[in-house]
Amino acid sequence: MTTQTQTFRAELSEFTLANRRATNRTSPLRWLWSHFIPYWWIGVIVLIGAFANAALAAVVPVQIGLAFDSILKNPPDPSVLWPIAWIIMASQMTRGVLQFGRNFGAEVLGQLYERNIRDELYVSLLGKSMTFHSLQPVGDTMARATNDVREINFMFNPGINLVIGSANFLIMPIYVGPTIHPSLIFTPLIFTILYFVAMAQYLGELSPITDRVRKSFGELNTRLAEALDGIETVKGMSQETEEVRMFDDNARRFRDDSVVQGDVEARFLPLLLLGLAQGVGLLHSLLLLNAGLISAGDVVSYFGLLSLFGFPTFVSLFAYSQVSSGLAGARRILELMNTETDLDQNTVGRSKKMKGGIELRGVTFAYGEDDPAVQDVSVSIEPGQTVAIVGQTGAGKTSLAKLVNRTYDVTAGQVLVDGVDVREWQLAALRQQVSIIEQDVFLFSRSISDNIAFGKPGASREDVEAAAHAAQAHDFIMEFKDGYETVIGERGVTLSGGQRQRLALARAFLTDPRILVLDDSTSAIDSATEDLIQRAIYAAAKGRTTLIITHRLSQIRWADQILVMRKGRVAAVGTHDDLLRTSEVYRRIFTE
Task: Please give the domain boundaries of the chain with CATH numbers for all domains.
Answer: 24-338 (1.20.1560.10), 358-591 (3.40.50.300)
Taking the C-alpha atoms of residue 586 and residue 234, their distance in angstroms, rounded to an integer, is: 36
Per-residue pLDDT of the chain (592 residues; tens, 9 = 90+): 333 333 334 455 666 655 456 788 888 999 999 999 999 999 999 999 989 988 898 899 999 988 888 888 777 777 778 888 899 999 999 999 998 989 999 999 999 999 999 988 888 888 777 777 777 787 788 888 888 898 899 998 888 888 888 888 888 999 999 999 999 999 999 999 998 898 888 878 888 888 888 888 888 887 777 777 777 677 776 777 888 888 888 888 888 888 888 888 777 788 888 889 999 999 999 999 999 899 998 999 999 999 999 888 888 877 888 888 888 889 989 988 888 766 677 778 888 889 999 999 999 998 877 788 899 999 999 998 989 898 888 888 888 988 998 888 888 999 999 999 998 998 888 888 888 887 777 888 888 999 888 888 888 899 999 888 888 788 888 988 889 998 887 666 678 777 887 888 888 888 888 898 888 766 555 566 566 667 667 766 777 898 988 877 777 877 889 999 888 898 889 888 888 888 888 888 766 5
Left if phi > 0, otherwise alpha if psi is -120 to 50, otherwise beta: which for 387? Answer: beta
Provide the 3-class DSSP secondary structure of residue 60: helix
Strands 386-391 and 561-566: parallel
Contacts of 272 (CB under 8 A, 6+ apart): none
Strands 412-417 and 561-566: unpaired
Contacts of 480 (CB under 8 A, 6+ apart): 448, 486
| pTM for this prediction | 0.71
For residues 430, 435, 441, 447, the Cα torsion angle rounded to the nearest 10 degrees is 90
Tell me which residue of 428, 389, 378 sits closest to 406, measured CA to CA.
Answer: 428
Q: What is the DSSP string of 528-585?
A: HHHHHHHHHHHHHHTTSEEEEE---HHHHHT-SEEEEEETTEEEEEE-HHHHHHH-HH
Share in percent of the chain as helix, strand, coil (round to 5): 65, 10, 25
Taking the C-alpha atoms of residue 188 and residue 194, their distance in angstroms, rounded to an integer, is: 10
